[in-house]
Amino acid sequence: MSFDWCRLWHDLPTDPKWRTVARKAGARVADVVAVYIAMLVNASQSPERGTLHNWDNEDIGGALDLEPDAVANIKSAMQGKVLDGDVLTGWEGRQPKREDGSAERGKAWRERNRTQPNETERKRSLDKIRLDKSTPTGGEETFTSDEVPWETASETPTQPPAPQDLPLAPTPPTVTAPSPEVELFRRGKEVLGTNAGGMIRKLLAFHGEVVALARASIELASTKENPREWIGGLLRKGSNEEADREAARRARHTFN
């Protein structure tokens, strides 16, 4: 069975164990979560699902904008929590070997449609047959306006379909607006480059996880000749009066 995805449980981002791992590794909680998600993806594609395969701290660090040693420390701190060697200990419980039954559900749906045809369509077909029989053609019997053109006297005219029998119009899909944090990363990568995920994450932490302030800094950087270098300088200095003023102004007037 081939899998192109893996599952994330609802409490994964806020699981308390990440704080323990982060403290032992001397890392940020966000970096711990990012490394673990990378492990899930790696283990999902492994020949033996649930076990890390060809894991490389340097490659993962490059993808997440982390130092290889930081990735190694996080991996080491996860031992006994979510790792047993290279095995993800919660894999069997959270990643069952099935595709959510989509093929089986599709087969059952087709079988129901085959054995239980739509009742409304069946009634319409019967009505059409009756009308075809009553329609005069060639030398067949014709009817006057006072006669009722039905097969037998016991039959009654077909009534128009009741409103509940009419097919329902399809419900338009619900469009969910992306969250402010998703928009922050989308815009940040437009301004700073597609590989700027780690820098945007650091910028968000620099602003105390306030998305509006981080977005304002990115918009300010977009007006600079080298936006990425400007953001890097802001993070290195730890404070920038121009950025603080502009971020506060944009947060008040643009994002609230």
Q: Tell me what pLDDT residue 133 has.
A: 63
Q: Which residues of the chain have pLDDT under 50?
A: 1, 145, 153, 255
pTM for the whole structure: 0.39
- pLDDT at residue 94, rounded to an integer: 76
Host H or E run for residue 246:
helix 241-250
Neighbours of 221 (CB within 10 A): 23
If phi > 0 it is left, if psi is from -120 to 50 it is alpha, else beta; for residue 193 that is left
- pLDDT tens digit sequence for 77-122: 999 988 989 998 887 777 777 655 566 667 777 777 666 656 666 6
Q: What Rg value do the Cα atoms of the chain yield, rounded?
A: 32
pLDDT tens sequence across 195-206? 988 988 998 898
Q: What is the predicted pLDDT for the residue at 146?
A: 53
Local structure of 84: helix, strand or coil: strand
Task: Measure the CA–CA gap between 115 and 132, rounded to whole angstroms.
Answer: 26
